[in-house]
């Protein structure tokens, strides 16, 4: 993936394309004693991203949005070419909320991976970060090298951006919780663990999964077993799939599962709300619509209890 030559669209806010230019901007914020909120994205901005930016704007004096499609979190069989164009005017100026951001960080691949980058882990060179014992469950089952790429690039972004607070959507709950643990285990000064915020977000494109997860959540709250809860969620997806097939749309369920929010281990089939007690539970699912893979997740219980 090469982004060595591109033309930036007009923008009312600073577009910073190098680590050096961003650090100059960040030093001024340090000198002025201003807090900096950070919303990392891979482009294709939607309302979920905008809600994260809005939260950051409300809680920080400055807000930085990054746009970077990270090659390291895609396996060799996953086609980066299917990602939307990174640097369109729509993406960097979408919505009044994003226009209120203080800066947008748009690093090149060679800036983020100075030793080069391959999507094949066996041929990669240079420094990478892994989360042992936490990255093979849930999303990691379908995408075994995904979280290695995520925690590596977020470590790089945190080192460059040095945010006071960082904001991640609850839709990607496993990723957000891993990043909280990353900050805790590696003793990050910016941001500290408690300053990695997980914000509920919604997207119209994932309503089918969300509806299914809500059915499972209701069943769980009513004391039904984990297996029954998952079965009810799957039945919702089956109905949607049947209608989609009539409309000529190919839909395939990847998984719907319930996991412990601390270990990410799958709950026992017979587990229920009473047996689990006050421990927060993650309900998550992934669904293929054609060649697009959609994910969503919700937390049942007190999110504030997780990784403190």
Q: Which residues are catalytic?
A: 49
Instruction: Tabulate helix, strand, coil % of the chain (nearest 5).
Output: 45, 20, 40
Residue 262, C-beta contacts closer than 8 angstroms, at least 6 positions apart: 279, 306, 307
Q: What's the CA gap between 237 and 284, in Å, rounded?
A: 13
Rounded CA-CA distance 282/216 in Å is 11
Give phi and psi for 168, each to the nearest 5.
Answer: -130, 145
Q: Torsion-angle region of residue 174: left (phi > 0), alpha (psi -120 to 50) or beta? A: alpha
Rounded to whole angstroms, the Cα distance separating 26 from 41 reads 19
Question: Dihedral through CA 241, CA 206, CA 252, CA 260, nearest 10?
Answer: -120
Side-chain half-sphere exposure of 74, counting CA atoms within 13 A: 18
């Amino acid at each position: 993936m090469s982004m060595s030559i591109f033309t930036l669209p007009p923008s009312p806010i600073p577009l910073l394309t190098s680590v050096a230019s961003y650090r100059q901007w960040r030093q001024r914020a340090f000198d002025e004693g201003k807090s900096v909120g950070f919303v990392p994205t891979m482009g294709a901005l939607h309302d979920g991203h905008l809600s994260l930016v809005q939260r950051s704007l409300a809680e920080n004096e400055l807000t930085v949005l990054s746009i970077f499609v990270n090659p390291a979190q895609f396996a060799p069989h996953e086609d980066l070419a299917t990602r939307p164009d990174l640097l369109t005017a729509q993406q960097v100026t979408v919505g009044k909320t994003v226009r209120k951001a203080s800066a947008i960080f748009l690093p090149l691949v060679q800036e983020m991976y100075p030793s080069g980058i391959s999507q094949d882990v066996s041929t990669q060179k240079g420094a990478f970060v892994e989360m042992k014992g936490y990255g093979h469950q849930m999303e990691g089952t379908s995408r075994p090298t995904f979280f290695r790429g995520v925690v590596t690039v977020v470590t790089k972004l945190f080192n460059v951006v040095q945010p006071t607070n960082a904001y991640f959507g609850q839709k990607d709950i496993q990723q957000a919780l891993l990043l909280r643990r990353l900050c805790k285990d590696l003793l990050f000064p910016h941001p500290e663990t408690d300053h990695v915020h997980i914000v509920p977000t919604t997207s119209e494109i994932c309503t089918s999964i969300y509806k299914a997860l809500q059915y499972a959540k209701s069943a769980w709250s009513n004391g039904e077993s984990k297996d029954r809860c998952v079965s009810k969620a799957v039945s919702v997806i089956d109905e949607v799939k049947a209608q989609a097939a009539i409309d000529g749309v190919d839909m395939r369920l990847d998984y719907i599962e319930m996991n412990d929010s601390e270990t990410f281990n799958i709950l026992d089939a017979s587990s229920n709300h009473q047996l689990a007690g006050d421990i927060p539970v993650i309900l998550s699912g992934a669904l293929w619509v054609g060649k697009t893979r959609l994910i969503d997740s919700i937390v049942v219980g007190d999110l504030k209890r997780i990784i403190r």
